[in-house]
Amino acid sequence: MSQSIQNDEIEVVLYNGKQIERIDYSTYIREKNASESDVVWINVDKEKDQAQIDTILKPFGVHPLIIEDILLEGQRPKLETYEEYAYLNCKMIYFDGEELAYENLSILFDQQTVITIGDHDGDVFSTIRKRLEVPTSNLRQGKADHLVYAILDAIVDAYFDVLETLGDLIDAREEDLLVKPNMDLLTILRQYKRDLLYLHKAIWPLREVLSRMINDEPKEIRKETVPYLRDVYDHIYQCIDSIETYRELLSGMMDLYLSSISNRMNEIMKVLTIISTIFIPLTFIAGVYGMNFHYMPELTSQWGYPLTLIGMAFIALLMVYYFKRKKWF
């Protein structure tokens, strides 16, 4: 074994319906002591370099292109079946604080062994570990393909969690939208839209992966497991449906935002313009009687000033009345 791999970074679980055992990776490789009926789960959960992955996968005779794929970030979820094993790639998605985090997960499996390789520490497998402790669970009773199902199920359940959180956030913003629309809100909505775009990109191809696992009858999948996979397939479809729905809702909210901003602005400009429009003719009249012509009979009349004021008030009221009748405000 290369010294760069520490045993405690690799989790090796051997189990069957009767017993479950956690052993050292190096012990496992040395002794190959898994009996026929055992399922072997090897979980590598650490940032990887080529050498480490090579070392770990060497004993299993994995195609070099797959190792390249495992090391690549930003892979598209896919299933590849080789003669001796199948290779499945998908994304674990979760909220890391306020940001969505995407983690590549590679699953290599044959009828007995399942190897999972994640990008970082941490995973969504806690429920699997718990269920493995229960001897009567479907998982413990099942074969390697049931473990693969359980892993995919856990991943897709995490998608649901993410989508629910996102849905709640969007709903909360909808209320904000009605109370105080502002530019920051639009930026947030755009961020959600972008999140949904990436989510769609990550989840959509997984649908095809499941479809192939169900319909192409790869030898690694037993017939009993197909209904379970179909269930995962349905869940993926619901995720995609939800994403679609949220995207349409967001588009609607953005349109509403723009309408309401522009509506508000129009209202303000209208009121301001109406105020100006009322005063401009009055100011003109005042201007007229501020002219210094020597012969302006109105100026000398005792009633000139009050009549002018009354006339101005009358004109103002007339305009207000006219604007009101036209429903301009």
Residues in 223-252 at the binding interface with a copy of itself, rule: CB under 8 A: 227-228, 230-231, 234, 237-238, 241, 244-245, 248-249, 252
Measured from the CB atom, is 28 or 257 closer to a copy of itself? 257
* Contact string (CB under 8 A) for a copy of itself, positions 106-145, x = contact: ----------------------------------------
Nearer to a copy of itself, 161 or 298 (CB): 298
Of 97, 136, 175, 284, the one binding a copy of itself by CB under 8 A: 284
What distances in angstroms separate CA 30 from CA 3, 59, 117, 229, 306, one per listed residue?
15, 10, 21, 34, 112
Question: Is the distance from CB of 87 to CB of 69 less than 8 angstroms?
Answer: yes
Site for a copy of itself contains 309 (CB under 8 A): yes
Residue 318 makes contact with a copy of itself by CB under 8 A: no
- Rounded distance between C-alpha atoms, residue 207 and residue 124, angstroms: 19
Nearest to 246 by CA among 159, 164, 153: 164
Give the nearer residue to a copy of itself in terms of CB position, either 19 or 260. Answer: 260
Choosing from 19, 33, 141, 277, the residue that interacts with a copy of itself (CB under 8 A) is: 277
Nearer to a copy of itself (CB atom), residue 19 or residue 127: 127
Determine if 51 is a binding residue for a copy of itself (CB under 8 A).
no
Does the footprint of a copy of itself cover residue 186 (CB under 8 A)?
A: yes
């105080």: which residue's tokens?
A: 180
CB 167 within 8 A of CB 246: yes
Burial of 70 (0-12, 13-18, 19+ CB in 10 A): buried
Question: Residue written as tokens 């588009």?
Answer: 251
φ, ψ of residue 303 to 5 degrees: the values are: -90, 0
Among 71, 101, 169, 299, binds a copy of itself (CB under 8 A): 299
Sign of CA dihedral 141, 221, 71, 123: negative
Judged by CB under 8 A, which stretch of 4-12, 101-109, 112-120, 270-278 contacts a copy of itself? 270-278
Nearer to a copy of itself, 49 or 83 (CB): 83
Tokens in use for 98?
A: 């306020």
95 binds a copy of itself (CB under 8 A): no
Q: Is the dihedral of CA 56, 62, 67, 69 positive or negative?
A: negative
